[in-house]
Structures are given as C-alpha cells and as structure tokens.
Amino acid sequence: MTDPDTNPAVTYGGYLKLDELLSLQQPRSEGPEHDEMLFIVIHQVYELWFKELLHEFTRVSQLLTDDDTHRAQHTLKRILTILKVMVAQLDILETMTPLEFLSFRERLQAASGFQSDQFRQIEFVLGRKTDAAVARFPAGSRARTALEQRYAEPTVWDAFLHYLSREGYVVPPAMLDRDVTKPVEPSDAIQRILIDVYRRDTKNAELCERLVDLDEGVQEWRYRHVKMVERTIGAKSGTGGSAGAAYLRTTIGQNFFPDLWAIRTQL
C-alpha cells in the first residue's frame, strides 16, 4: 500500500501544476486593461502549441529514420491538425479592436513574437536556419541552447531524403551528406526522384503530400497572422522594430520543401 503522507494521491491540479500555470498571466497595464489578459493567454497558448509541435517533429524525424512510414504519416496528421487549430485561434485575437490593442501596446516595449525562440526552432527543424536567430539570445540561456541544438541537427527534410534512399531511390550522396545547417536548395535530381515517387509509389506519394500540407499549413498561419496584424496596427512598425506587416509579407510564400512544389508543374 502507498503511504499518503510520503506519496500523496495524484490530483488534477497537482499533475497539471495549475497553481503555477494560473499565476503566470501578469498584465503590465494599469487597471489592468481588460484585453491584455486575452493577449497574454493566447500567446502562452501558442507557445505551448509550439512546444508540442517541436515534440512531434522530433518524433516524425525519428519515425522516418526507423522506416516507420505509417506512424510517421500518423504523426504528420497530428501536426497538421494542431496547425489548423493554431490558425483558427487567430480568430479570437481578431475580436480585439485596434483601440483595445492600443490600450496596452506601449507596455510591450520592444517585446514581439519575433523573439519567440520556439517559432525559430520550428523554422530550424523545417530547414530555415540562420546564425542571426541564434545570436539574438544570450549565451547559455534556455533559448540559445535549444536553438544551437536544433541548428546542428538534421532537418525533417534530411530525415526524409535518407528515408527515400533506404526505400531504394538513388538520392545523390551530396544530398545525403549535405551541411544540415545550410538552407535546403532546390535540386533537379531530387525532383526527378519525386516525380517517380508520385507516378509509381502511392505509399510514399502520400507521405510527400503530408509534407506539402505541412509546408502549406505554416504558410497559412503566416498569412492569417499578417492579415490580423494589418487589421490591428495597419502599416505601423512592429514592437520588435521591423516594418510590421510589410516585413511579415516578405516571409509569406517561402517554401520549406521547394522540390515538392516544383514538381507540380512537371507532373
């Protein structure tokens, strides 16, 4: 029998650390302004989804490395479902009018989603890595350590190319041994392989389609985020110091997996 003094029963609040969790929403505005609570909660919720996405991306790469196609697809389906929820949640923030946001905006000072290290980690895992994104965080911090690790790790695309090679496709050695810290460049050789996959190999063509869904899903979030930014702050610059919506528009339409998009014209 377990001793209730030394080994208390698990409770809902204890397991989820609710006391800590519910103490973490701390508005900075006087009053405080009513809408700041929504602003904090939604950003915290996004950071939790980012955490879960990163957890699942690590799993997808591992499952591809294990040649477990079925479960890799299953995990990608979960990732896509989370992304849909993340896009839908922007509707909630869009109930906040420009004036409601302005009621506390100056309290944010230079803080911005631009500084989300988990968002950068997601970009890194999917192949968009920059030294600048790592250097933005102090040496030894949680964010910097996590980004340094993701920077050095193979991307989901690398795991996929190795998987294709083990499936019998002749992936050029230069692609398999590529420097994983560099951006994924379009490759004619990979495109020829992918066309072959789409024409002859239903199982792996399905896997490719889930990767396209993923690429499109992140872009859908970016598009909805920039529209929300436009309707909330117009053409004003961002708290993070960028040109605001004008900067964000430059990030739309950049594909993580360019080869998967290129082959559509040739199919």
The least distance separating ligand HEM from the CB of residue 260, rounded to whole angstroms, comes to 21
Give the x/- contact pattern for ligand HEM in 102-131, rule: CB under 6 A: ----------xxx-x--x------------
Please state, in angstroms and as integers, the Cα–Cα distance from residue 134 to each residue in 152, 230, 240, 249, 251, following that order. Answer: 11, 28, 16, 22, 18
The least distance separating ligand HEM from the CB of residue 12, rounded to whole angstroms, comes to 27
Smaller CB separation from ligand HEM, 164 or 248: 248
Smaller CB separation from ligand HEM, 146 or 164: 146
Q: Using CB under 6 A, which of 74, 233, 254, 261 touches ligand HEM?
A: 233
- Burial call 32-63: b when 16+ CB within 10 Å, e when fewer: ebebbeebbeeeeebeebbeebbeebebbbeb
The least distance separating ligand HEM from the CB of residue 45, rounded to whole angstroms, comes to 8
Smaller CB separation from ligand HEM, 115 or 165: 115
Torsion of CA 186, 189, 190, 191, to 10 degrees: 80
Q: Can you tell me the distance from the alpha carbon of 173 to that of 187, in angstroms, rounded to the nearest whole number?
A: 13
Q: Does 28 bind ligand HEM (CB under 6 A)?
A: no
Q: Using CB under 6 A, which of 251, 254, 261, 262 touches ligand HEM?
A: 251
Q: Does 240 bind ligand HEM (CB under 6 A)?
A: yes
Smaller CB separation from ligand HEM, 117 or 259: 117
- Position 78, amino acid: R
Q: Can you tell me the distance from the alpha carbon of 235 to that of 18, in angstroms, rounded to the nearest whole number?
A: 39
Q: Does 43 bind ligand HEM (CB under 6 A)?
A: yes
Phi, psi of 149 (to 5 degrees): -65, -45
The least distance separating ligand HEM from the CB of residue 112, rounded to whole angstroms, comes to 3
Contact 226, 245 (CB under 8 A): yes
Torsion of CA 254, 260, 266, 267, to 10 degrees: -140
Q: Using CB under 6 A, which of 37, 38, 40, 42 touches ligand HEM?
A: 42
Q: Does 82 bind ligand HEM (CB under 6 A)?
A: no
Q: Does 155 bind ligand HEM (CB under 6 A)?
A: no
The least distance separating ligand HEM from the CB of residue 135, rounded to whole angstroms, comes to 15
Q: Can you tell me the distance from the alpha carbon of 81 to that of 76, in angstroms, rounded to the nearest whole number?
A: 9
Q: Where are the alpha helices (DSSP H) in 12-96?
A: 12-15, 18-22, 36-65, 69-93
Q: Using CB under 6 A, which of 35, 46, 127, 164 touches ligand HEM?
A: 46
Q: What residues make contact with ligand HEM under the rule CB under 6 A? A: 42-43, 46, 93, 101, 112-114, 116, 119, 225, 229, 232-233, 238-242, 244, 247-248, 251
